């Protein structure tokens, strides 16, 4: 048995060596397919890791209270159920470290003869800590500024670049937001480019009171969101419950009524992001799988093209003493050998490709064992199926038929 195995597998190796071009072309399909699966999945999973780590950097002890019922798609400004007073009430709850209510709006900013359309974030001084904002020049606005409805602004790097000449100190300058004059008191450090997401440096921070009264005319004191920093991670649930009952009481909701607000925490965001990037990974893997199947069809083509030659070879081998099982085993070993060798090079090229991609595209990639196992298993199935099938057909002929096959 083991002698027969040795002999038959040596036949397989000899056959592959004897026909290098055919072996190479057959393997090429597997190589490209496996490399594509590994590369695509490493890109997808890299994206997933990147998104998740970015979300984690936002701080996992944050709760975000938004107006409108959960699941309801809220366009900012449409639902006005949250107010500044709600925020002040939440701040008094135990376990709450910081609270930052925010109103948002777009505005045309002018400075001298330069103009720039940007986002206004009307908020309190607490946002600096919550969102890890750091000042490069000047200062952030203070509680006094918020209480005094001061017309002061802290600008992001992108805003600075578009409204000021490079090198000019913006602190103390006058800018106009929707025609209303503001004094620049601070310039923020860059928060860094976020690939895909909005430019977080393209914002002007002003006191929430000023934004509501002077700029956006929100007489009802409504806000777009309230960010709550919780003191202790373990209290996230408790605090969330307390905020819920507090707001229900403040909004005078009956027991049957749904919440007219919703509270999101970072875990939910993580799950959502994981789902989205998981779908992305699956999609990429699917595309790559198709290339593996196309590679498999290539294998079948080459095998079928050579089937005349191979059928005669099978006939000859049977004429000199091979039985069906010998023939099938030889071709099976051949197909496995081709698939595994192809997979090996596919893995090498896939990993190399993923490293090159992450180097040039500045996109971190992650190679997973699943991708390797999945693609090799798939290549093995495809290779064996398409490589073995013609041999199976030929081995069913009797030697005389196989020898006279045209």
Partner 1 sequence: MSTLPLISCRGLKKIYPLSGVEVHALRGVDLDIERGEMVAIMGPSGSGKSTLMNIIGCMDLQTQGSYYFDGVNTSDLDARELAALRNKKLGFVFQRYNLLPRASALYNVEIPLFYSGMYGEEVKNRALAALSRFGIDELADNLPNQLSGGQQQRVAIARAVVNDPLVVLADEPTGALDTTNSLEVMNILQKMHIEQGVTIIIITHEPEIAGFCPRKLIMRDGKIISNEISSSDVRSKEV
Residues that bind partner 1 (CB under 8 A): 3-4, 6-7, 11, 14, 18-19, 309, 312-313, 315-326, 398-401, 403
Angle at 147 between CA 145 and CA 153, to 5 degrees: 30
Taking the complex as a whole, how short is the minimal distance between the CB of residue 298 and partner 1, in angstroms? 21
Query: Which residue, 19 or 50, has its beta carbon nearer to partner 1?
Result: 19
Check if the beta carbon of residue 199 is closer than 8 Å to that of residue 158.
yes
Helix 20-57, helix 324-361: angle, nearest 10:
40
Report how far residue 191's alpha carbon sits from residue 229's, in angstroms, rounded to the nearest whole number: 20
Taking the complex as a whole, how short is the minimal distance between the CB of residue 315 and partner 1, in angstroms? 8
Query: Which residue, 108 or 305, has its beta carbon nearer to partner 1?
Result: 305
Report how far residue 341's alpha carbon sits from residue 355's, in angstroms, rounded to the nearest whole number: 21
Taking the complex as a whole, how short is the minimal distance between the CB of residue 28 and partner 1, in angstroms? 20
Taking the complex as a whole, how short is the minimal distance between the CB of residue 25 and partner 1, in angstroms? 15
Query: Which residue, 192 or 321, has its beta carbon nearer to partner 1?
Result: 321
- The pair of structure tokens assigned to 401 is 């038929």
Report how far residue 47's alpha carbon sits from residue 398's, in angstroms, rounded to the nearest whole number: 56
Nearest to residue 34, comparing CAs of 370, 346, 336, 290? 346
Query: Which residue, 97 or 397, has its beta carbon nearer to partner 1?
Result: 397
Query: Which residue, 18 or 166, has its beta carbon nearer to partner 1?
Result: 18
Count the Cβ atoms, other than its own, within 10 Å of residue 286: 11
Taking the complex as a whole, how short is the minimal distance between the CB of residue 313 and partner 1, in angstroms? 6
Taking the complex as a whole, how short is the minimal distance between the CB of residue 11 and partner 1, in angstroms? 7
Report how far residue 330's alpha carbon sits from residue 326's, in angstroms, rounded to the nearest whole number: 6
Query: Which residue, 312 or 355, has its beta carbon nearer to partner 1?
Result: 312
Query: Which residue, 211 or 318, has its beta carbon nearer to partner 1?
Result: 318
Report how far residue 116's alpha carbon sits from residue 119's, in angstroms, rounded to the nearest whole number: 10
Taking the complex as a whole, how short is the minimal distance between the CB of residue 12 and partner 1, in angstroms? 12
Give the DSSP letter string of 208-227. Answer: HHHIIIIIS--TT-B-SEEE
- The pair of structure tokens assigned to 81 is 């159920």
Query: Which residue, 6 or 85, has its beta carbon nearer to partner 1?
Result: 6
- The pair of structure tokens assigned to 323 is 């039985």
Taking the complex as a whole, how short is the minimal distance between the CB of residue 7 and partner 1, in angstroms? 5
Give the DSSP letter string of 47-116. Answer: HHHHHHHHHHHT-TTEEEEEES-TT----TTT----BHHHHHHHHTSTTEEEEEEEEEEEEEEEETTEEE
């Amino acid at each position: 048995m083991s002698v027969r195995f040795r002999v038959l597998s040596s036949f397989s190796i000899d056959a592959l060596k004897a026909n290098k071009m055919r072996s190479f072309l057959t393997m090429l399909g597997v190589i490209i397919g496996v490399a594509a699966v590994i590369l695509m999945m490493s890109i997808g999973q890299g994206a997933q890791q990147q998104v998740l780590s970015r979300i984690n950097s936002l701080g996992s002890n944050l709760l975000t209270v938004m107006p409108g019922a959960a699941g309801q798609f809220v366009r900012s400004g449409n639902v006005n159920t949250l107010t500044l007073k709600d925020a002040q009430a939440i701040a008094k709850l135990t376990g709450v470290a910081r609270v930052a209510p925010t109103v948002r709006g777009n505005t045309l900013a002018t400075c001298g003869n330069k103009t720039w359309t940007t986002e206004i974030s009307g908020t309190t001084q607490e946002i600096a800590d919550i969102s890890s904002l750091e000042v490069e020049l000047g200062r952030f606005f203070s509680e006094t500024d918020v209480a005094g409805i001061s017309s002061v602004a802290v600008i992001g790097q992108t805003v600075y670049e578009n409204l000021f000449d490079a090198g000019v100190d913006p602190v103390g300058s006058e800018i106009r937001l929707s025609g209303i004059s503001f004094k620049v008191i601070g310039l923020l450090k860059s928060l860094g480019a976020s690939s895909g997401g909005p430019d977080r440096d393209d914002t002007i921070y002003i006191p929430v009171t000023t934004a509501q009264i002077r700029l956006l005319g929100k007489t009802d004191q409504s806000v777009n969101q309230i960010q709550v920093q919780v003191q202790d991670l373990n209290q996230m649930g408790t605090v969330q419950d307390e905020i819920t009952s507090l707001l229900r009481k403040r909004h005078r909701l009956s027991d049957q009524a749904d919440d007219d607000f919703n509270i999101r925490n970072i875990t939910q965001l993580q799950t959502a992001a994981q789902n989205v990037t998981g779908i992305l990974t699956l999609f990429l893997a699917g595309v790559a799988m198709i290339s593996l199947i196309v590679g498999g069809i290539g294998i079948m083509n080459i095998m079928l093209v050579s089937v005349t030659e191979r059928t005669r070879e099978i006939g000859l081998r049977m004429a000199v003493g091979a039985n069906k099982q010998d023939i099938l085993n030889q071709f099976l070993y051949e197909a496995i050998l081709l698939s595994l060798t192809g997979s090996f090079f596919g893995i090498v090229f896939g990993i190399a490709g993923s490293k090159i991609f992450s180097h040039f595209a500045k996109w971190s990639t992650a190679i997973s064992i699943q991708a390797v196992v999945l693609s090799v298993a798939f290549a093995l199935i495809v290779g064996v199926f398409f490589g073995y099938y013609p041999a199976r057909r030929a081995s069913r002929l009797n030697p005389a038929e196989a020898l006279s096959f045209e």
